[in-house]
Structure 1
Amino acid sequence: MSETTFVSLKENTANPAPLGLLAFGMTTVLLNLHNAGFIEMSPMILSMGIFYGGTAQVIAGIIEAKKNNTFGLTAFTSYGFFWLTLVGLIVMPKLGWFPAPTKASMVAFLVMWGIFTFLLFLGTFKINRALQFVFASLTILFFLLAAGDATGNESISKFAGYEGIICGASAIYTGVAQVLNELHGRVVWPIGPVA
C-alpha cells in the first residue's frame, strides 16, 4: 500500500491593496485640488487618471482576484475604470469624437457612482475603520459633486473639492499604513481592524 503525501500550497502574491489605495488616493487628491480651485485642470491630472488612478487600480483589482478577494477585485477594478471613463468624458469631446456630456448626464453619472460607493461602504464594516472612512467620504464626495453639477452652485463644487482632498488623503494613509505595518510586522499606522 502506497503512502499518501499531502502538499500544502502557500499564497505568495503580494498584497495589491496599497497599490490600489495609493493610485486612487493620489489621483483623487490631485483632481480635487482642481475642484477646490488650487490648480488648473491639466494633462498632469488627466495622465494620473489614465495611468495611475485608472490602470494601476485595474491591475490591483486583477491581483485581488488571484487572491480570491471579491471586494478588492470589485472596488479597485471599478474605480480604475471610473478614472478611465472620467478622462474619456473630458478628453473625447475636446477631440471632437463626441459632444460634451450634458449636465443631467453628468449628474446621473455621479449619482450612480455615489450609490455604488455607498453599497461598497456597507461591506467595509467587515474590513477596517480606515476603509470605512475612505468609502464614507467617497460616497459624500460623489453626492456633493452631483449636487454641484445639478445646481450649478460653485460653492458646493468647491466644498466638494476640499472634501475630496480629505477622502484622497485618507486612502493614501490607508495604503501607506498597510505597507508600513507589513514591513514592520506590527501596527505602525493604525487602520482600526474590525474585531
Structure 2
Amino acid sequence: MAKQELTQQISPVETVSKKVSEAAAFAETVIKDTTANPAPLGLMGFGLTTILLNLHNIGLFGLGSMILSMGIFYGGIAQIIAGIMEWKKKNTFGTVAFISYGFFWITLVGLIVFPKFGFAEAPDATAMASFLFFWGFFTLILFLGTFKMNYTMIAIFGSLTVLFFLLAVGDMTGNHTIKIIAGYEGVLCGALAVYAGAAQILNEIYGREVLPLGTIE
C-alpha cells in the first residue's frame, strides 16, 4: 500500500516534467529567424570602399579624408556589424569574411595615420608587400569556399585574391604600372561586390530574380 501511495505521489511530477519537455521541444521547432539579411550591408561596405581606394590607385584623386573615413566607417565598422549579424545566423563564412575585411580596412587606415601622429614608423616596401601578400593568402582560402556558393561570389573573391597579390608585387617592385593595373582590377572587384549586394536587396524586395547571382547547379 505504501509503495502504491509513493507511486501516486511521483506520477504527477513525472507528468509535469514530461509536458515541460514536450513544450520546450515544440518551442524549439517553431522559433524562426526573423532578422534581416546582413550580407548586402557587408558587400556594399566592402565594394564601395574598394572602388574608391582603387580609383585613387589609378590616379583619379589623392588619398584624403574621404577614403580614410570610408575605410573606418563603411568599409570597416559597417562590415564588422554585418559579420556579427552573420554570426547570429550561424554563417561561418560570412562572419569570418565581413569581420576580417572590416578590420582590414581599419588596419589599413591605421597604417596610414599612425605614422603621421608619430605613433609608429611607416611600413617600408617589404613590410607592406608582406601585409598585402598574407591578406591575399587569406583571401585565397575563402575563395576556395566560394565554389559551393554562386558564380558572383567566385568572381568577387577570385578578383580580390588577384588584387592583393598585384598590390603586393607592386609595392615590392615599386612598379607604378602594376599598381595602376591593380587599380583597374580593384574597381572591377568592388563593382562585383556592389552588384552582389544590389542583387540580394532587389531580389528580396521583388520576390524574384531581378539580378542573377549565377546559381551553381
Q: Tell me the TM-score normalised to structure 1 length.
A: 0.98
What amino acid maps onto 1:85 in structure 2?
T
Structure 2 gaps of 5+ residues are 1-14
**Of the candidates 85, 88, 100, which is equivalent to residue 110 of structure 2?**
88
Q: Which residue of 2 aligns with 1:54?
A: 76
Aligned to 1:188: 210
Alignment of 1:30-69 (within 5 A): 30-69=52-91
1:161 aligns with 2:152: no
Shift of 1:194: 2.0
Supply the distance in 2 between the matched residues of 1:136 and 1:37 (Cα, whole angstroms): 24
5 Å-filtered alignment, 1:164-175, equals 164-175=186-197
Aligned equivalent of 1:103, options 125, 143, 149 = 125
> Which residue is equivalent to 2:43?
21
Counterpart amino acid of 2:154?
A: Q
Q: Which has the larger radius of gyration?
A: 2
Aligned length: 195
SS in 2 for 1:99: coil
Residue-by-residue CA offset, 1:139-159 (whole Å, 9 max, x unaligned)? 000000001001100000011
Q: 2:143 matched to which residue of 1? A: 121
Q: Deviations over 1:29-70 (max 9, x none)?
A: 000000011111110000000000000000000000000000
TM-score w.r.t. length of structure 2: 0.88
Higher relative contact order (CA 8 A, sep 6+): 1
> Partners of 1:33 and 1:95 in 2: how far apart?
26
Counterpart position of 1:74: 96
CA RMSD of aligned residues (A): 1.0
One of 130, 142, 161 as aligned partner of 1:139: 161
Unaligned runs of 5+ in 1: none
Give CA deviations for 1:2-47 in whole Å, capped at 9, x if unaligned: 7644221100111100000000000000000000111111100000
> Using the alignment, how far apart are the partners of 1:155 and 1:176 within structure 2?
32
| Distance in 2 between residues matched to 1:194 and 1:24, nearest whole Å | 23
Q: CA deviation at 1:193?
A: 1.8
**Aligned equivalents of 1:70, 1:193: Cα separation in 2:** 20
Separation in 2 of the partners of 1:37 and 1:46?
16
* CA distance in structure 1 between the partners assigned to 2:189 and 2:150 by the alignment: 16
1:170 and 1:25 mapped to 2: Cα distance? 7
Identity %: 61
